[in-house]
Homo-oligomer: A and B are copies of this chain.
Amino acid sequence: MVLRSHALLSPKLHFRVLEFRVYTEETVFCFNSLTMAEDGVPPLDNLTLSDTVEEAAFSQRVPIRSILCRPDAGAGLAGQTLKVGGWVKKGREQGRGSFAFLELNDGSCPANLQLIIYADVAPLGQFTPTGTCLHVEGVLQMPPEDKQGKQSIELKVSKVLEVGTVDPAKYPLPKTQLTLEFLRDYVHLRPRTNTISAIARIRNALAYATHTFFQKHGFLYVHTPIITTSDCEGAGEMFQVTTLLNEAEKKAIKNPPASQEDVDLAKSVVKEKGEIVAKLKSDKAGKPEITAAVAELTKAKENLSMVEERFKPKDGKLDYGKDFFARQAFLTVSGQLQVETFACALSSVYTFGPTFRAEPSHTSRHLAEFWMVEPEIAFADIEDDMKCAEAYVRFLCQWLLDNCLDDMEFIADKFDKKAIERLKMVASTNFVRLSYTEAITILEEAVSKGQKFEHKVEWGIDLASEHEKYLTEIKFESPVIVYNYPKGIKAFYMKVNPDKKTVAAMDVLVPKVGELIGGSQREENYEVIKERILEMGLPLEPYEWYLDLRRYGTVKHSGFGLGFERMILFATGIDNIRDVIPFPRYPGRADL
């Protein structure tokens, strides 16, 4: 069995299709895009449209990517009839209104497919406004020879299947360049812009790369809880999750607060009913009569106590016993402690989910809702942890280069000329490793040579952003892992080193964003971690389950957390974190 000759992969065009199957007499071979990128010679010369449009099976369109992002830039498909759908980026009538050129984008890739539509097919005016949705059938054709090279294959429209029109006078996203800030007021429409759609594809690629990396290495994905009754760090500003307010408001409507008069009235009723009972008794009335009067008195007393209850100014404490979970519940700030329970049973695990901070930060680096990737590895020490973090970050960078280069080229061109260079550098560089103590020495040396820092450098400080940037951007021009931080500035669960002064914590610093990953070996010794909890002034009781992991079959283990949006900021060079998550949540804003 010999495979047929290979077509060259155009260096400008990249497959996002993840896997190809080549069928032979003997077996089925799979090629994925990584393989292709590696040797550059995929066996694709006999590829037909149907090989690349499996993805179109559930949609009445051929993705534009399947047409344009082929080694032959679509040339081999000339003459084929197919349906495409998408939104018009730019449209213009030509030849005195006899035909129109429309640039169509369907979000499958940054490139647009050029449509040419003649006036005898349909009236042209409705198609040209930016934002118009079109679903058409047509024939792929090479442009006239004098335009070849400048322009790839185009579609001559033979039939318009559906149109979603736009009134250009009202459409909030006109053709003109809009700022990212302006677009934040239109989160429901901004995915239609070149920038936000490119970021969405990059985000998608990084998410799938994350799963692929960990699955490849035998990690199991664990869904840690979003609603939690534990506070991971014992420090976070947490959102509370409750059904009490709804209840309280419903009650307030049915049962408004009482006034002094309400109370006085209820009291007088009790008095009156009491007097009736007393009178009946002294009159030696019949038993049924007295029973009835007593029942009325009881009812009046119950009413009084209800009214008094409503009158009493509340002491501000809610009865969480009546809340949905019968206790106070919060949105998680990290899945780490919970995922440790799975690491202490399934060995290599990771979680990838939303986390929350109720900090009222208005910076370009903070969100109230963001996504975190948190692997946790049993039988692993801080060295293994650093190895894993480095391999993961490098894998992500290489993945973007292999699977998203067209989007990266667009972003680099528009926002950060160095973005691709940075990805290549990180993918191919061994990360520098420094102990915290070494890092402080380097920073002190820099200060002595005239480097200015706002925050004082001395052993024991938490590294400030400016220090991290100095290390990774100026001193080493490379990703840097700093490890063995002072015990006093780190969380209780981090393993105390033999020097008793430092803990086996590590941070991965990268150019552009600074800290990308924070991790540590976890303290697995029961006595030591118990001591640490108390030392931090935390109560033991909420951590009993966590202590159980050390009581019963304890295991050396390590893990880290990567802020997913930070990774996107790093990859793209975009400045504001609100632009790299589909629906940003921050103080005062939670649109949709």
- Say yes or no: B229 contacts A590, CB within 8 Å: yes
Query: In whole angstroms, what is the CA distance A329 to B581 when docked?
Result: 18
Encode A193-213 as 1/0 by CB contact (under 8 A) with B: 000010011011001100100
Query: In whole angstroms, what is the CA distance A225 to B356 when docked?
Result: 11
Q: Of B41, B54, B88, B191, which is within 8 A of A217 by CB?
A: B54
List CB contacts (< 8 Å) of A367-403 with chain B.
368-369, 371, 377-381, 384-385, 387-388, 391
Q: Smallest distance from the beta carbon of A510 to chain B beta carbons, Å? A: 19
Q: Which residue of B lies closest to A29 (CB)?
A: B29
List CB contacts (< 8 Å) of A120-179 with chain B.
131-133, 135, 162, 164-167, 170-172
Known: A28-B35, A345-B191. A60 touches B592 (CB 8 A): no
Query: In whole angstroms, what is the CA distance A551 to B38 when docked?
Result: 46
In the bound complex, residues from chain B placing their C-beta under 8 Å from that of A2 are 1
Asked if A311 is at the interface (CB within 8 A of a chain B CB), the reply is yes
In the bound complex, residues from chain B placing their C-beta under 8 Å from that of A316 are 248-249, 251-253, 256-257
Q: Of B554, B556, B592, which is within 8 A of A229 by CB?
A: B592
Known: A228-B590, A241-B241, A342-B200. A317 touches B252 (CB 8 A): yes
Q: How many residues of chain A are within 8 Å of chain B by beta carbon?
A: 157
Q: Which residue of B lies closest to A251 (CB)?
A: B316
In the bound complex, residues from chain B placing their C-beta under 8 Å from that of A338 are 582-583, 592
Asked if A490 is at the interface (CB within 8 A of a chain B CB), the reply is no
Among the stretches A347-355, A418-426, A466-474, A475-483, the one at the interface with B is: A347-355
- Say yes or no: B220 contacts A341, CB within 8 Å: no
List CB contacts (< 8 Å) of A531-550 with chain B.
545-546, 548-549
Asked if A589 is at the interface (CB within 8 A of a chain B CB), the reply is yes
Query: In whole angstroms, what is the CA distance A166 to B221 when docked?
Result: 27
In the bound complex, residues from chain B placing their C-beta under 8 Å from that of A240 are 241-243, 245-246
In the bound complex, residues from chain B placing their C-beta under 8 Å from that of A203 are 221, 223
Asked if A524 is at the interface (CB within 8 A of a chain B CB), the reply is yes
Additional 7 contacts, C-beta under 8 A, given A28-B35, A191-B341, A240-B243: A16-B218, A59-B379, A85-B378, A189-B548, A223-B371, A228-B590, A338-B582
List 15 A-B residue pairs with CB atoms under 8 Å apart, sorted by A's residue number. Answer: A30-B30, A55-B219, A58-B348, A59-B379, A108-B348, A162-B555, A170-B551, A188-B546, A188-B549, A207-B211, A211-B211, A239-B242, A243-B358, A338-B582, A354-B354
Task: Name, among A35, A85, A227, A316, the residue most crowded by chain B CB atoms within 10 Å (CB to CB).
Answer: A316
Q: Which residue of B lies closest to A389 (CB)?
A: B58
Known: A188-B549, A377-B58. A35 touches B31 (CB 8 A): no
